[in-house]
């Protein structure tokens, strides 16, 4: 059954940095190629991941791959700072800047194209959200336009029938994307304070999280695990399988 199509594909080469919107991507066993493949570690917290939770301004740093993608090695990761400076992701000047802003000691770690553990990615392989659910949440919040980047989905889906939160009813079922990829819905996405951080200016508004807690039992979006790998493209049809 046709349920919609891919409106946007978003991968995050660096965990907690702003992601990049791409027209196509490979779906690997772990999810989108390169998603959360590079991470900063917070050495003041015994090497935990440094995230927006502890350093809000991470949402204003943009990370993207530059160069040819390979299964042997990732392309160079380029970072654009809020001030517009451009660095390689592990440039010491960039790290020193973030250390000064966050008041934390930072180290780096990266994974290989063939393997990114679930920990850096999230709870599961791929996070999906839909346009109808985003529009309904905006109505429930009743304030500013809700930027989808607050929720950091990998796949933003335009539904054929605009039924808010219908994706939550697909738990345990499979979808087929395009001609190759299959995924299975496995878990609801419970939200944390990260959604309160405005991606444009890093300012926090806890009222959005309170709305998600009150109106949606703190759930927005669904996780899917990869069943069949392959290539996906913006515009690919999404079919719910029997």
Locate the domains of the chain by residue range.
Answer: 2-240
Residue carrying structure tokens 């779906």: 27
Phi, psi of 71 (to 5 degrees): -85, -10
Query: In a 10 Å sphere around its CB, with 0-12 CB exposed, 13-18 middle and 19+ buried, how is residue 130 labelled?
Result: buried
Q: What is the pLDDT of residue 45?
A: 80
* pLDDT score, position 115: 80
Nearby residues of 84 by Cβ (< 8 Å), 6 or more positions away: none
- Cα–Cα dist 130/161, whole Å: 11
Q: Model pTM?
A: 0.94
Residue 2 in tokens? 């046709």
For residue 121, what pLDDT is reported? Answer: 61
Angle at 219 between CA 214 and CA 221, to 5 degrees: 140
CATH class, range 2-240: mainly beta
Rounded to an integer, what distance in angstroms lies between the CA atom of residue 200 and that of residue 18? Answer: 10
Q: Give the C-alpha distances (Å, rounded to integers) separating 180 from 8, 55, 59, 124, 230.
A: 18, 38, 32, 20, 5
- Spatial neighbors of 18 by CB under 8 A, at least 6 apart, are 12, 59, 60, 61, 62, 63, 149, 199
Mean pLDDT, consecutive 10-residue stretches, the chain (242 aa), reads 98 96 95 94 88 96 96 96 98 98 96 77 83 98 92 97 98 97 96 96 97 98 96 98 90
Please give the Cα distance from 202 to 21 (Å, whole number): 20
């Amino acid at each position: 059954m046709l349920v919609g199509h891919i409106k946007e594909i978003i991968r995050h080469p660096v965990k907690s940095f702003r992601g990049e919107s791409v027209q196509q991507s490979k779906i690997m066993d772990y999810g989108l190629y390169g998603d959360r493949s590079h991470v900063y570690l917070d050495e003041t917290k015994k090497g935990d991941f440094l995230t927006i939770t502890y350093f809000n301004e991470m949402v204003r740093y943009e990370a993207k791959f530059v160069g040819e993608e390979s299964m042997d090695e990732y392309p160079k990761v380029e970072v654009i700072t809020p001030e517009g400076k451009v660095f390689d992701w592990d440039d010491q000047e960039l790290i020193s800047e973030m250390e000064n802003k966050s008041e934390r000691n930072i180290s780096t770690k990266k994974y290989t194209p063939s393997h990114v553990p679930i920990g850096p990615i999230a709870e599961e392989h791929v996070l999906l959200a839909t346009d109808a659910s985003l529009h309904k949440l905006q109505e429930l919040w009743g304030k500013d336009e809700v930027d989808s980047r607050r929720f950091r989905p990998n796949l933003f889906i335009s539904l054929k029938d605009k039924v808010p939160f219908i994706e939550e009813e697909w738990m345990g079922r499979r979808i087929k994307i395009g001609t190759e990829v299959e995924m299975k819905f496995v878990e609801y996405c419970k939200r944390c304070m990260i959604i309160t951080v405005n991606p444009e200016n890093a300012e926090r508004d806890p009222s959005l999280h309170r709305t998600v807690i009150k109106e949606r039992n703190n759930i927005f979006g669904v996780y899917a695990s990869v069943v069949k790998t392959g290539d996906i493209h913006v515009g690919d049809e999404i079919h719910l399988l029997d």
